[in-house]
Structure 1
């Protein structure tokens, strides 16, 4: 009787471990925020759960890969959008987009160099082509985003940052700071 209970417990434990490994491999991707990824919402050393294949929209943080290195950025525009960034004002589809989340940055002033989709794609596109995102860092002096890498293809996206595990004081869903417009 004891031997049978032990075997059941071992089988249950192995099944649980295999289930967790499968979730980690196909659904969740943990990411520790590095100094170059940090901003007003994502602090250095935060442990964040990324959901693979989750729908992402304007303002969401995504984890993406360029040249086998992972980066975190905010979605500014999606396929079919036209974008102009001029004098620190974002125009998406010829409408001003208020980036209130930038006001939470430690430095009051920020400066984003002027660009358009045409200038980022060397005149190849006027709007974002199908299956691409325009991704920018909240720290606009950190150019490790679409301004350097070009438009981010959906194949490069690992997932959407969804849930903060640590620090425990900030445990919960990620607040992107984006207000409905």
Structure 2
């Protein structure tokens, strides 16, 4: 009787562990924020969960990979969007978009150099093609984003940063600084 209960408990525990590992590998990706990823909303050494396979919206923080190295940035534009930065004013689809999250930034200078989709793609595209994104860092002096790597393909995006696990004082959903209208 005792042997049967032990085997039953071991199988139950193994199934639970397998289930947790499957959820982690297929749905979630833990991210530790490095100094190059940090901004006013994501602090260095924060442990954050990225949710894989979720729909992305303007202003979401995303984890993406370029040459097997992980980066975190803010989704600025999606497919079919036209984008122009001119004189530090952001135009998406020919409308001015306020980036209030930058004014609260702890970075002294957040000036964004002039560019458009055409300049990022060497004239190949005027609008973002299907299955691509424009991703920029909040620290606009850090050029390790679409300005250096080009448009980020959908399959390079690991997931959307959604939940902070540590530090415990800031445990909870990520504040992106975007005001939903």
TM-score of the superposition, structure 2-length normalised? Answer: 0.97
Unmatched 5+ residue regions in structure 2?
Answer: none
Deviating beyond 4 angstroms after TM superposition, the runs of 4 or more aligned structure 1 residues are none
> Which residue does the alignment assign to 1:80?
80
Change (3 A) 1:156 1:107: closer
Distance 2:40 2:118 in 1: 30
Task: Summarize the alignment of residues 16-165 of structure 1 with structure 2, pairs less than 5 Å apart.
Answer: 16-165=16-165
RMSD: 1.0
Could you list the per-position Cα deviations for residues 68-119 of structure 1 after superposition, in whole angstroms to 9, with x for gaps in the alignment? 1010000000000000001111100011111011112113542110000000
SS of alignment partner, residue 18 of structure 1 = helix
Corresponding residue for 1:178?
178
Give the superposition deviation at 1:139: 0.3
Count the aligned residue pairs: 181
Where structure 1 has 5 or more consecutive residues not aligned to the other structure, the ranges are none
TM-score w.r.t. length of structure 1: 0.97
- 1:38-78 deviations in whole A, cap 9, x for unaligned? 00111001111111111111000111000110100000000
